[in-house]
Amino acid sequence: MEKGITKASDGVQGMSWTVVGQTYVPKLLSNDAFIWDAILPADTFVPPHVHPTQDEWISVLSGALEVEFLGDVHQAGPGDTVRMPKGEAHAIFNRSGAEAHCIFGVAPARKLFDLFIELDGVTDPAELVRLSALHEVDFLPPPAET
């Protein structure tokens, strides 16, 4: 990691990505950790997935999120920190009707920064799943139709 300050309006190397309708701005990258600022518009979500090699967390700055751990739903609001251990399937939903602003992080960084570069602007779900699997993020199959 390089010393210095990443300004509020800036991302690492001037980067910003749009992933599944959400805006991600990388703030810190080292081998040990990757941290990004995220804006999650109302009614957006990240489908159920697993990080087999990384612990992940979210600090909610404003708005509200629902985090599901295989059916176990948790509510998170401003000031709350969500902990998602490696290997634990989770999904993230903004069902609040308003935008949510959060800081996400993973440790170690592994391949997630490179994944977001690849996913910027991808809209095809099958391609998102394929690229994610190549970068150590495994999306779960959708639930069976009943």
Under the banding of pLDDT at 50, 70 and 90, the label for residue 144 is low
Task: Supply the range of the domain harboring residue 110.
Answer: 12-137
Q: Which CATH number fits the domain that encloses residue 29? A: 2.60.120.10
In a domain? residue 90: yes
In a domain? residue 68: yes
In a domain? residue 3: no
Exposed e or buried b per residue across 39-73, where buried means at least 16 C-beta atoms within 10 angstroms of its C-beta: bbeeebbbebbbbeebbbbbbbeebbbbbeeeeee
In a domain? residue 103: yes
Contacts (Cβ under 8 Å, ≥6 apart) of 72: none
In a domain? residue 98: yes
Helices 125-134 and 112-119 pack at an angle, to 10 degrees, of 160
| pTM of the model as a whole | 0.92
Number of domains in the chain: 1
Mean pLDDT of 3-17: 93
Q: Output the pLDDT for position 142.
A: 65
Q: Which residue, chain included where needed, has tokens 């800036």?
A: 10
pLDDT in tens, 83-121: 999 999 999 999 999 999 999 999 999 999 999 999 999
